[in-house]
Structure 1
Amino acid sequence: MQFAIICEDKPNSVELRQSTRPEHVDYLNGLGKTLVFAGPFLDESGNPCGSLVVIEAADQAEAEAIAGRDPYGHAGLFESVTVRPFRLAFNTTTST
């Protein structure tokens, strides 16, 4: 089952995001095939202001546990985190 982890950054936290990014990237890489895709939300200036991470997990509890281990969260970057069941219905893009 797939889950979308939707994270909104706290205001004025670009510096915190950048300083914590290496640990976050290591964490995502360590998820292996559990990770479906991930990337940042951008504000009107093109700066990251949140994250979308889609994962495979057995259930809601497992998905929430994966979200809870993200180094960004441990660093206090997020204002909110929502974990929702997700179903990929269409995929017509390639990564850039």
Structure 2
Amino acid sequence: MWYTIYCEDIENSLPIRKQTRAAHLERIQILVDQGRLMVAGPNPAIDSKDPGEAGFTGSLIIAEFDNLSDAQQWADTDPYTLAGVFRQVTVKPYIKVLP
């Protein structure tokens, strides 16, 4: 089943994001390689594709897991989570309807 992982950043998370980005992207790439990723990306803090030093306010990942527990465990062990980028992470089941 698909699950949304919605992550809200702490204030001024950009320095930690930069330090941890490579490890976070490597982990996301595993989902891509396994065909389990629908979409993933950050929420810019300003209305721009390149927010620069304004940074980000959170991230969204929609990926396939066997169950909610597995999705939550994956989110709990993401490098951004472990490094303290996120102040809150919400994991919920998701049903894709369109397109």
Alignment-mate amino acid for residue 28 of structure 2: L
> Which blocks of at least 5 consecutive residues in structure 2 are unaligned?
none
Q: Which residue of 1 aligns with 2:74?
A: 66
Q: Which residue of 2 aligns with 1:9?
A: 9
CA RMSD of aligned residues (A): 1.3
Separation (CA, whole Å) in 1 of partners of 2:23 and 2:67:
25
Q: Which residue of 2 aligns with 1:38?
A: 40
**Structure 1 residue 74, shift from structure 2 partner:** 0.8
Q: Which residue of 1 aligns with 2:57?
A: 49
Q: Which residue of 1 aligns with 2:26?
A: 26
**Structure 1 residue 15, shift from structure 2 partner:** 1.1
**Structure 1 residue 3, shift from structure 2 partner:** 0.3
Secondary structure of residue in 1 paired with 2:24: helix
Separation (CA, whole Å) in 1 of partners of 2:12 and 2:45:
11
Structure 1 stretches of at least 4 aligned residues deviating more than 4 Å after TM superposition: none
Separation (CA, whole Å) in 2 of partners of 1:74 and 1:35:
21
Q: Deviations over 1:48-85 (max 9, x none)?
A: 22110011011110111111121000101100000011
Q: Identity of aligned pairs, percent?
A: 35
Paired residues in the alignment total: 91
> Which blocks of at least 5 consecutive residues in structure 1 are unaligned?
92-96
Separation (CA, whole Å) in 1 of partners of 2:36 and 2:98:
19
Q: Which residue of 1 aligns with 2:89?
A: 81
User: Does the Cα contact within 8 Å between 1:2 and 1:87 map onto a contact in 2?
Assistant: yes
**Structure 1 residue 33, shift from structure 2 partner:** 1.6
Separation (CA, whole Å) in 2 of partners of 1:36 and 1:44:
24
**Structure 1 residue 90, shift from structure 2 partner:** 2.1
Q: TM-score, normalised by structure 2?
A: 0.84
